[in-house]
Amino acid sequence: MKTKQYKVGDHVFEIQFVDDNNDESLLPSFRPFELKDSDDVPLFRVIVDDSFKFDELGHEIGQFDCGGSNHGVYLLPNGAYQFIVTDVNGVLCCHMQSTSDFNEIKVAIKGKTWIQRNFGLNNAMMMAYAFATAEKMTMLMHASVIRCDGYGYLMTAPSGTGKSTHTRLWYDNIPGCDLMNDDNPVVRVVDGKAIIYGSPWSGKTPCYRNIQAPIGAIVRIQQRPKNEIRKLGPVESFTVLLPAMSNMKWDSRVYKGICDGITGLIEHCNLYELGCLPNGEAAILCHDTVSVN
């Protein structure tokens, strides 16, 4: 058995590889977050064992959307969860079963190719992290994040709207910017401060950086025929943030944790709506309006 510990968003977790079929090479994006000789107690533990099988399949209660692929979610009578993870082509990539609080998770990888096995384990780890940390004012947020003058600025919108394009326009037009994450950063409220962290999950852009920054602002992107920006009030902010978070609305523990985290974000950082064209003027308008400095 090989054991690895990682720290993401200042939360420590552990992966145990039971057999020789799998090891940490399946998770190359996790390397920047690996801990060496750590004595930290992990928040949750994932046991990767291809021989693991469901004793029974629970009652299907929903589908979890992971960027174009839907994973079946099932509930056992004892409150444990089961997930059947498939890729965008419907290929079975892994089975996952967790305790109700996601402290202990078992994963059996089912994919045949390295890509399928990587997809299965990576998605299992993302869900395990999102739901184990939900009560810790911690959220995985669907956003692209640019860092400027020491602050992180989050661009959120449905896929294909232009989040990555807009952060790239900041990078191209505003000196001193760098990309923190392009799809799934970790957002936390810690000691009354809103903080953004890099993560092992960054969509199609390989940006896996073990860095953090205070949040400068969160911006919802919308495509429009002209560039305009406005600040959002608390109610609008909540409706923008809720669908952007990895969540299970049918689980009261997870849902309450995410709602509490969103409320904390609204209290400690500003949210805006940017209607824009894909040009440098939009990036400059956004920067000049939302920038802390």
Q: Which residue, of 132, 158, 188, is where some domain finishes?
A: 132
Q: Which residue, of 117, 132, 147, is where some domain finishes?
A: 132
Clarify whether residues 37 and 180 are in a common domain.
no
Clarify whether residues 145 and 106 are in a common domain.
no
CATH code (residue 255): 3.40.50
What band does 193 get if pLDDT is binned at 50, 70 and 90?
very high
Clarify whether residues 218 and 149 are in a common domain.
yes
Kindly state the percentage of the chain with pLDDT values over 70: 99
Alpha-carbon 147 to chain mean position: 17
Clarify whether residues 113 and 196 are in a common domain.
no
Q: How far apart are CA 186 and CA 208, in angstroms?
A: 12
Alpha-carbon 272 to chain mean position: 21
DSSP for 41-86?
PPSEEEEE-TT---SS--EEEEEEEETTEEEEEEE-TTS-EEEEEE
Q: Could you read off the pLDDT of 237-256 as tens digits, one per residue?
A: 999 999 999 999 899 999 99
Domain count of the fold of the chain: 2
Look at 69 and 259; give whichever has higher pLDDT.
259
Q: Which residue, of 132, 167, 200, is where some domain finishes?
A: 132
Q: Which two tokens stand for residue 146?
A: 């640019």
Those residues with Cβ within 8 angstroms of residue 214's Cβ, 6 or more apart along the chain or in another chain: 150, 151, 152, 193, 194, 195, 196
Backbone angles phi, psi at 185, to 5 degrees: -75, 165
Q: Could you read off the pLDDT of 83-141 as tens digits, one per residue?
A: 999 998 999 999 999 999 999 999 999 999 999 999 999 999 999 999 999 999 999 99
Clarify whether residues 37 and 126 are in a common domain.
yes
Clarify whether residues 145 and 259 are in a common domain.
yes
Q: Could you read off the pLDDT of 147-163 as tens digits, one per residue?
A: 999 999 999 988 778 89
Clarify whether residues 151 and 241 are in a common domain.
yes
Full domain range(s) for residue 208: 138-290
* Predicted TM-score (pTM) of this structure: 0.95
The count of residues in the chain is 293
Is it the case that residue 67 has pLDDT exceeding 70?
Answer: no
Neighbours of 72 (CB within 10 A): 15
